[in-house]
């Protein structure tokens, strides 16, 4: 699947603008700056495909990318905090929630958690929303390169503990570093196996 080209399709600012629901869809959700756009670039092997930046609030639309003939990768605006005026942020958050709970072809949501920070209350809110919508979600730990290996286990234990309360959670975590390439092949295989 990931041997093929990935292309940007469109950025969406309202549910009415969503592309036709004719592909298997996976999306990347998480707090602002957690590394969603960077992860999409690592997965597709195209550095500038999804725009990433050190400023939280970089991605402001729901961005659709094709991969192969049958899948969409969907980059979402971050939640939690962002460098943008409150009414603007509230508008993205509304759209984000509508998308996560109302997209028929959404097969799996990847919820990204910074390996240094663990699960925050805003993450739990999104997880509960996914439970209610019966969208299977899987946690992807990001920026693993930023935390020494011996400090990771404590965070991972916290994440597993939090996940046990969520019926829609897929129990297996994926530890990644978009910087070093860790976990990227694993995540590609998971996506390629979704039908
Ligand atoms: P928003 O669009 O604002 O919600 O953020 P995002 O989740 O898309 O984050 P983005 O991909 O823009 O990355 C934020 C910052 O984290 C950038 O400076 C990235 O270079 C950095 N970053 C992302 N992934 C990694 C990683 O695996 N390791 C390291 N060291 N830095 C990373
Ligand atoms: Mg982004």
* Domain-wise residue ranges, the chain: 6-192
**pLDDT number for residue 26:** 98
CATH architecture of 6-192: 3-Layer(aba) Sandwich (3.40)
Pocket test residue of 53, 95, 141 for ligand 1, highest count of atoms within 8 A of CB: 53
Distance between CA atoms of 59 and 53, rounded to whole angstroms?
9
Please name which ligand lies nearest the alpha carbon of 110. Answer: 1
Pairing of strands 137-142, 71-75: unpaired
What was the pLDDT predicted at 58?
Answer: 84
Going by CA atoms, what residue is nearest to atom 22 of ligand 1? 35
Residue nearest to atom 31 of ligand 1 (CA): 143
CB 68 within 8 A of CB 41: no
Write down the pLDDT at residue 117.
Answer: 96
- Rounded CA-CA distance 32/78 in Å is 4
Closest CA to 156 of 141, 134, 171: 141
What pLDDT shows up at residue 178?
Answer: 97
Instruction: Tell me which residues of the chain have a pLDDT lower than 50.
Output: none
Residue nearest (by alpha carbon) to ligand 1 atom 2: 59
Q: Is 160 helix (H, G, I), strand (E, B) or coil?
A: helix
Going by C-alpha positions, the residue among 79, 97, 99, 93 that lies closest to residue 33 is 79
CA of 57 to the centre of ligand 1 (A): 11
Distances 121 to 30, 118, 136, 159, 172 between C-alpha atoms, Å: 12, 10, 19, 12, 20
Ligand 1-lining residues (CB < 6 angstroms): 30, 32-38, 52-54, 56-59, 77-78, 142-143, 145-146, 177-179
**Residues 115-168 pLDDT 10s:** 999 999 999 999 999 999 999 999 999 999 999 999 999 999 999 999 999 999
Secondary structure, 3-state, 49-103: CCCCCCCCCCCCCEEEEEECCCEEEEECCCECCCCCCHHHHHHHHHHHHHHHHHC
């Amino acid at each position: 699947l990931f041997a093929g080209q990935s292309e940007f399709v469109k950025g969406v600012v309202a549910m009415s603008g969503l592309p036709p629901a004719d592909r298997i869809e996976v999306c990347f959700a998480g707090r602002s700056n957690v590394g969603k756009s960077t992860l999409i670039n690592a997965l597709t092997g195209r550095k500038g495909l999804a725009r990433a930046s050190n400023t939280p609030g970089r991605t402001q639309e729901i961005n659709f990318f094709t991969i192969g003939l049958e899948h969409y990768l969907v980059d979402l605006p971050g939640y939690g905090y962002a460098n943008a005026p409150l009414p603007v942020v509230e508008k993205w958050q509304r759209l984000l929630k509508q998308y996560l709970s109302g997209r028929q072809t959404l097969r799996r949501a990847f919820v990204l958690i910074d390996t240094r920070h663990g699960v925050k209350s805003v993450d739990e809110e999104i997880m509960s929303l996914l439970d209610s919508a019966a969208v299977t979600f899987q946690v992807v730990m990001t920026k693993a390169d930023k935390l020494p290996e011996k400090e990771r286990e404590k965070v991972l234990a916290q994440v597993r503990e939090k996940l046990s309360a969520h019926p829609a959670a897929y129990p297996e975590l994926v530890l990644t570093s978009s910087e070093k390439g860790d976990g990227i092949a694993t995540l590609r295989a998971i996506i390629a196996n979704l039908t």
